[in-house]
Structure 1
Amino acid sequence: MLIEEKKIKNERREQTFSQQVKEEIAATLNEKSFNESWSFLSAFIKQNGSLTLNGMKLGVDIQTANPVIARRVFQILRKFYPDVIIEIVVRKTVKLKKQTLYVLRIKDNDKTFLKEINFFDGEGFIMTLPERVKEKERLLLSYMQGLFLATGSINNLQLSSYHLEISFAQEEHAYAVQEIMGKQGIHFKTIKRRNYQILYIKDSTMIGDYLAFMQAIQARFSFEDIRISRDMMNSMNRLINCEVANEQKSQKATAIQIENILYLKEERENEVFSEKEEAIFELRLQHQDVSLAELSDLLSSEKHVDVSKSGLNHVFRKIAKKVKQLKENNLSL
């Protein structure tokens, strides 16, 4: 075995969602046919491989920080390319965030393997989408899995926004993948970041579709659970905010109504108001926290005065207009 399970468990920290997705995909790799494995390796090594030259001997180094991915890639190479010489190197990074890197050092003296997986043509790198991959969906699936395991990521579900991306060293490669995935109904956007071309998705529904396409079913379920819960919470918050805003608006309107009633009664203390108006004034002053609909019900039950909500609105608008005129007249005196 490439890496002992005990060692993996000891080194593994709390997983990110991106790691969970990758390990779920990696778990399906042993089930692939030769052609599907070829397609996967072609993408993975294009994205993650670096050409090496020792004397006149050509090779490629593949590295990953994920031991599960390293083990799966090693198993595929051993299964379908038994003649390829593979050296396993484990490194510890010396950066601030220390990390273990697993390097598969492939020696390919006659360049047969590198040519076969569409990585090197004898003169230079081949950083394009193989034509064979465009023709069959199973090969496209394996190729996309290889891309994502090599340079893909998706942000943690606890964050407020959704973001999935794959980085490419060559623009032509990125645009070819963008085009063919668009035909699958999965539409990546593109941006340049440093020296890399980035394909990314921010739409939550599209990310869910992409995870399903990649056969990361459990990851998709987790993603959809969080997305639906968050959408429901956002809807509830919007509803609550709307209700609070309406309540504040209603309280402000009620305060103005009461102020106008008191001003009118003070300025026109000798004026005789209609029975309906007196009933409205009295109950509005007594019940300052009720809505117009509730005030209409109180008028009907306590005063036997039938005034609809819209009728009350009309009465208070008339009062507001009259109060405004009184204030303007007082200012002109």
Structure 2
Amino acid sequence: MSFSREVKDELSRQLSSARHCQIAEITAIISLCGRVSINEKEEYYIKIHTENLTVARKYYTLIKKTFQVNPEILVKRNHYLKKSKLYMIVIKDSKVSMKILKATKLIDSDGEVQENLSIVDNVVVQNTCCKRSFIRGAFLAAGSISDPEKTYHFEIVAATESKAKQIQDIIGAFDIDAKIILRKKYYVVYVKDGSQIVDLLNIMEAHISLMNLENVRILKEMRNSINRQVNCETANINKTVAAASKQVEDILYIKDTVGLSELSEGLEDIARLRFEYPESSLKELGELLNPPIGKSGVNHRLRKISIFADNLREQKEEVNHGIKTNNN
């Protein structure tokens, strides 16, 4: 089961005790995955659809509990996904449908259903608790969340920009920075920050899913921290190996050119130790001296050896250049 389905299954078991919160959740559901039809007698009836059986049961229970009505449940094959089923909760009673539309503010005072089933009056989500319920209903109706093992991505799909902005504003009321992007012909409200997605799960009261996501986040952060540390240590090791290799190269050049005896006593001692122990750290080299010296002291001497070797190379180049000039 996908993480998104796990979250929806958990949310399908959440039922607000307050009627105004139940209405707010129903409002989001009808607005995002519902349809209002008018028959030849100009009577309204409502259809709500979903591909998730658990979510369909939630719709049914929510409407039954809030409006004391038994909706009809229909099951159809999805024409686009042949193996998938489409569950429809249908309210055929025109009076009940009108009652629901008025309570959810999806119909105005003149009895006109709002275009795209937008909320006429934000009084439906005036309370903080109702905003929570609305977000939960919106996610159940048209939301999804990525597997946190792969990436952090929460989204709710809306048919119109105005509806998407309304969802964005309601989410924003909880200090969550949701963005909107146009994907094909739909407007997608999304959040990509892991900590804010955790906040959204808390807002929707998906506490088990929240803990599961937090566990994944902790493990990912630990792995990332370990990887950063390993990369840093690897870089330091590579840097140390490269520096030691250059030091040995300089010492070998001095030995083959003028001999290590041309170095001062302190430099000769450290040069022989570096040549004998090419893999030792500066600290370890310093401890091998008698008397021992610190890391900075060893580094200082090796720098002097490097300068001595570079001077020898420059002198050799000058000599070779002079010989070449005379020959010409």
Structure-1 residue corresponding to 2:227: 237
Report the residue type matching 1:50 in the other structure. Answer: R
In structure 1, what is the Cα distance between the partners aligned to 2:81 and 2:68?
Answer: 38
Contact 1:276 1:305 in 2 (8 A): no
Q: 2:245 matched to which residue of 1? A: 255
Find the partner of 1:65 among 46, 51, 60.
51
- Does the CA-based 8 Å contact 1:40-1:143 persist in structure 2? yes
Match for 2:126: what amino acid? E
Other structure's SS at 2:102 match: helix
| Paired position in structure 2 for 1:331 | 317
Of the three residues 176, 183, 194, the one matched with 1:193 is 183
Q: How high is the TM-score relative to the length of structure 1?
A: 0.87
Counterpart code for 1:102 = Y
Q: The residue matched to 2:313 in structure 1 has which SS?
A: helix
Q: How has the CA–CA distance of structure 1 residues 331 and 170 changed in structure 2, closer, same or farther, with 3 Å as cutoff?
A: same
Change (3 A) 1:292 1:270: closer
Kindly state the Cα deviation for residue 271 of structure 1 after the two structures are TM-superposed. 4.2
Q: 2:33 aligns with which of 33, 37, 48?
A: 48
Aligned partner letter, 1:311: G
Query: Shift of the alpha carbon at 1:102?
Result: 0.9
Taking the aligned partners of 1:264 and 1:305, their CA distance within structure 2 comes to 25
Partners of 2:234 and 2:210 in 1: how far apart?
A: 35
Structure 2 residue aligned with 1:124: 113
Structure 1 position 283 matched with structure 2 position 277: no
Question: Match of 1:9?
Answer: none
Cα contact 2:271–2:302 (8 A) shared by 1 = no
What value does the CA root-mean-square deviation take over the aligned residues? 1.9
Contact between 2:106 and 2:120, CA under 8 Å: does it hold in 1?
Answer: no
Task: Tell me whether 214-223 or 115-124 shows the greater mean CA deviation.
Answer: 115-124
Residue 18 of structure 2 corresponds to 33
CA distance in 1, matches of 2:75, 2:167: 32
Shift of 1:278: 2.3
Aligned partner of 1:102 in structure 2 is 87
Distance 1:134 1:38, change over 3 A: closer
**2:323 aligned residue:** none
Q: Which runs of 5+ in 1 are unaligned?
A: 1-14
**Percent sequence identity over aligned pairs:** 34
Aligned residues: 312
- State the shift of 1:314 in Å: 1.6
The 8 Å contact of residues 170 and 197 in structure 1, kept in 2 or not, is answered as yes
Deviates more, 1:236-245 or 1:309-318: 309-318
Partner SS, residue 269 of structure 2 = helix
CA distance in structure 2 between the aligned counterparts of 1:152 and 1:177, rounded to whole angstroms: 11
Letter in 2 for 1:140: K
Structure 1 residues 242-251 or 55-64, which shifts more?
A: 55-64
**What SS class does the counterpart of residue 71 from structure 2 fall into?**
strand
> SS of the residue aligned with 2:68?
coil
1:150 Cα deviation after fit: 0.5
**Against the structure 1 CA distance between its residues 242 and 97, is the aligned structure 2 distance closer, same or farther, given a 3 Å change threshold?**
farther
* One of 38, 44, 62 as aligned partner of 1:76: 62
Matched residue SS, 2:293 = coil
Shift of 1:97: 6.3
Q: Identify if the C-alpha distance between structure 1 residues 321 and 58 changes in structure 2 by more than 3 Å, giving closer, same or farther.
A: same
Post-superposition offset of 1:174: 2.2
SS in 1 for 2:88: strand
Q: Select the residue among 218, 226, 236 that pairs with 2:216.
A: 226
- 1:156 matched to which residue of 2? 147
Of 149-158 and 224-233, more deviation after overlay is shown by 149-158
SS at match of 1:52: strand
